[in-house]
Amino acid sequence: MAREVIVEELNQTPVEKQGLEIVERKGLGHPDTICDLIFDRVAVALDREYRKRVGETLHFNVDKSLLVAGEVETKFGGGEVKRPMLLVFGDRATSKVDGEEIPVGEIAVRTAREWFSQNMRFVSPDRHVKYQVEIRPGSASLTDIFKRESRVMGANDTSAAVGYAPLSRLERLVLEVEGYANSPSFKKAFPESGEDVKVMGIRRKEEVHLTVGMAFVDRFVRDEDDYFRRKAEILEELERFVKERFDFRGVRVDLNTLDMRGRGEGGVYLTVLGTSADGADSGQVGRGNRSNGVIPLTRPMGSEAAAGKNPVSHVGKIYSLLTHAVARKIHEEVPGLSEVYVWLVSQIGRPIDQPSVALARVLLEEGTRMEEVRGEIAERMDWALEHISDFCRALAEGKMGIC
């Protein structure tokens, strides 16, 4: 079947020159991000086990999963956990092959425990989290896709994804601010800062306003005055970091704006474990960052959750990451393009290398003509789809994933 690739010029103002831009980033310890990162790792672990046992990927998707907030009593100097968080593993996975049981639940729980141990300083995977496995066998029709012989798998859903390149300055800013706030050097300097960091960025022309939410770990804070002193020091450091790395005309950073003096523990953002999931906020796969690490409110966005889906037939994962990868490749390799947007639309059952729509829309730099670049863009789109099996293998092995 001939593959149709559509390449069009996009006539709009580049994001960098638009008067208003809004970008959000949910950091490492945000409940939604915890879910995304854990279940993306669970997907890699399940795929590895299937290939070890039978030599190929079997049907699974574990993206219908959530983290239920626990209950804590925060207190200056150190509070306590009253009720642990609950991590619920949902959706479908093959658990038996030729009469042999595959320990899907054990793999999922073990993977989650490892993630908590490696990423959350104050969360004990045994004492602070309970695990509820609700993963069931897959439906006959979706499971059958994996039994059909073909060069590439058929799509297990009809859905669409969009990716773009390059990242704007504001998108890079919110990524870097959260990355710095969760870096080992920052945690060493400010151990009271928890992993739950959220950054909302708004750019009005060349003026940028960042609102940062950062969970404080109560054991490091003596009293209310100590909290506000530490908060001022962290705010000063974040402002220094931003101003040294970005050339916006003006940048304002606000931190924990719900705080109110005189109200004790209730008037400040304290947690026991460094995440709001310990007693305030639940999380769910797919409610957080897009696959490139940000929530770009003034860009086109897909609605699929990439985390937890299988890497060989679920286009919600494959196309969500592939569209960004292809857009980056086009922008890096084809001169004269200021922005690149790539859409892929699947049809259930149709081979994933044959999307029903493969569309690239580009903004041209001054002096570039569409006829000069159309062929090069289409060629890179076609190459990516032709080599989609290699891309899926990288996803399955965890070499490429959500940010």
Among candidate residues 402, 395, 291, 286, the one with its CA nearest the CA of residue 44: 395
Among candidate residues 249, 252, 175, 174, the one with its CA nearest the CA of residue 205: 249
User: Per DSSP, what are the bridge partners of residue 82?
Assistant: none
d(CA 175, CA 183): 12
Domains in the chain: ranges and CATH: 17-26+168-284 (3.30.300.340)
149 pLDDT above the threshold of 80: no
- pLDDT class for 142, splitting at 50, 70, 90? very low
User: Per DSSP, what are the bridge partners of residue 91?
Assistant: 135
pLDDT reported for residue 139:
47
| Contact in structure between 214 and 275 (CB atoms under 8 Å) | no
d(CA 194, CA 44): 27
* CA 22 vs CA 197, 211, 241, 256, 346: distances in Å: 17, 11, 20, 19, 29
pLDDT reported for residue 53:
87
> In this prediction, what percent of the chain has a pLDDT beyond 70?
96
d(CA 129, CA 387): 41
> In this prediction, what percent of the chain has a pLDDT beyond 90?
84
According to DSSP, residue 180 is labeled H
Q: Tell me the per-residue pLDDT of 254-310, one tens digit each, with 9 for 90 and over.
A: 999 999 999 999 999 999 999 999 999 999 999 999 999 999 999 999 888 899 999
2 pLDDT above the threshold of 70: no
| Contact in structure between 35 and 360 (CB atoms under 8 Å) | no
145 pLDDT above the threshold of 90: no
Please give the average per-residue pLDDT across 119-143, as a whole number.
85
Average pLDDT, the chain: 93
Tokens of 359: 């569309």
CB-side neighbour CA atoms (13 Å) of 128: 22
